[in-house]
Amino acid sequence: MSHRHKELESPRKRIDEIDEQILDLLSERGDIVRDVIKRKVENQLPVFVPAREEEKTEAFKKLARTKGIDPDWAEDFLRMIMTASRATQSQETFPIATDKPKHILLIGGEGGMGKLYKRMADQTGHITYSIDKSNWYELEEWAPKLDMVIVTVPINVTESVIERLSGRLKKETILADFTSNKSNPIDAMLKAHEGPVVGLHPMHGPDVQNLSKQLMVFCDARDRNKASWFKDQCELWGMRVIEADPEKHDHVMHLVQGLRHFVALLHGSFMEEYDLKPADMLDYSSPIYRAELMMTGRIFAQDAELYADIVFANKERRDLLIKFFDHHKKLATLVEENDREGFIKEFEGVTDFFGKFATQALEESGYLINRLADRFA
Ligand SMILES: O=C(O)C(=O)C[C@]1(C(=O)O)C=C[C@@H](O)C=C1
């Protein structure tokens, strides 16, 4: 056998050389990307440029095809490269959206999100302040300077923290919050402050590598145009910004956050009840099941209080969960009555309701699963 192995020596040597050349080229590309961020900072240009990435991707796929390389694979490869570029460009200094640095106070500045955005603002050249539990007394001294105050505290204390600001900010200061529900905090901010008010929801956690491609939801409440510089700033950081109506946003979030996280608890707690350990399940799991288990599992690596606050955020959310249990009972009768026909009817109803999305979900999850299988299986 071993002498046959020798046959591979020379092509393998060549493969090693080529792989090294790939790394050399990537390293050279990285140097250029580092130069690009300097120019972006000087010229106030954004880290993430979706149009450029899409153009590049199309051209790269075409090129790959002419060279006999699978275009879908080539797309993944290029997207990974560009993600690395954005990570490189998010390390030190960010382009600033304003002529002069802004004075930004983060309330809850010691929390995960507070720390992250404080660091981002600092690295952009803005002047930041942080208030947490122990230094509220500093507010009075800082208030006259502040262009913006962002409340980023746990959801269950957001409104009381906002009330605490009543009458203590100057009229020009923009008041904003980062809470994952929007209507109630916005009402509280409008009451506590007579100047510009905007409700924000960064749709990511504190552990993201950088903000590029992350989503920031903007809800206008009062004098939206005064806060447009912050929107520009988010875009320069590489974020995607969407404008939303607070009620609509909350309606979606009750389901996404309240229900989704509760179902994770249901799933996890029933595994405990059934005494089925994740490790035993993993042994038998296909990539898709593995992906599902990971989606549930990740919740329990995080803070219980955070999730309790999210699930029990407000009455609407709790009411929705009660409705969910009622619906559960309805479906449970299908099982009790061994109603196979009923199950199929319900199933097909959802298929119709989902429409095109079901096909899209099959496609997208297929992609995810293949990547996951590649990496972890
Ligand atoms: O063209 C730029 O603006 C770059 O920073 C380079 C690059 C890339 O790696 O090709 C990286 C990030 C942008 O979203 C687009 C492209």
Q: Which atom of ligand 1 is nearest to the CA of 48?
A: 14
The reply to whether ligand 1 has any atom less than 6 angstroms from the CB of 330 is no
Closest atom of ligand 1 to CA, residue 212: 14
Alpha carbon nearest to ligand 1 atom 3, residue: 49
Atom of ligand 1 nearest to the CA of 84: 9
Locus of tokens 């996951």: 372
Q: Looking at the CA of residue 238, tell me the nearest atom of ligand 1.
A: 14
Q: Rounded to 5 degrees, what angle do the CA atoms 250, 194, 233 make?
A: 60
223 alpha carbon, distance to own chain's centre: 27
Distance 138 CA to ligand 1 centre (A): 41
**Residues whose CB is less than 8 angstroms from the CB of residue 224 and which lie 6 or more positions away in sequence, other chains included:** 196, 198
| Residue % of the chain over a pLDDT of 90 | 84
**Residues 14, 18, 23, 28: is their CA dihedral positive or negative?**
positive
115-143 residue pLDDT tens: 999 999 999 999 999 999 999 999 999 99
With vertex at residue 18, the alpha carbon angle to CA 15 and CA 22, rounded to the nearest 5 degrees, is 135
Measured CA to CA in angstroms, residue 151 lies from 89, 113, 118, 270, 321 at distances of 27, 10, 12, 36, 27
C-alpha 367 to ligand 1 mean position (Å): 24
User: What is this structure's pTM?
Assistant: 0.88
Helix (H, G, I), strand (E, B) or coil at 143: helix
Report the complex ipTM: 0.98
- Centre of ligand 1 from the C-alpha of residue 53, in Å: 7
Q: Is 52 near ligand 1, meaning CB less than 6 Å away?
A: yes
The residue-averaged pLDDT of 345-351 equals 97
* Two structure tokens written together for 129: 């302040």
Question: Of the candidates 204, 189, 181, 184, which has an alpha carbon nearest to the alpha carbon of residue 150?
Answer: 189
Q: What is the DSSP secondary-structure string of 167-221?
A: T-S-TTSEEEE--S--HHHHHHHHHH-SS-EEEEEE-S-TT-S--TT-EEEEEEE
Question: Hey, what are 178's tokens?
Answer: 């980062």
pLDDT tens-place string over residues 56-113 = 999 999 999 999 999 999 999 999 999 999 999 999 999 999 999 999 999 999 999 9
Give the SS3 label for residue 276.
coil
pLDDT bracket for residue 1 (50, 70, 90): low
Residue 200: strand pairing partners: 218
Closest C-alpha to ligand 1, atom 9: 82
pLDDT digits (tens, 9 = 90+) for 231-268: 999 999 999 999 999 999 999 999 888 898 999 999 99
Q: Whose CA is nearest to atom 1 of ligand 1?
A: 52
pLDDT-based confidence at residue 156 (cuts at 50, 70, 90): confident
Nearest to 178 by CA among 111, 226, 229, 123: 111
Å from CA of 330 to ligand 1 middle: 52
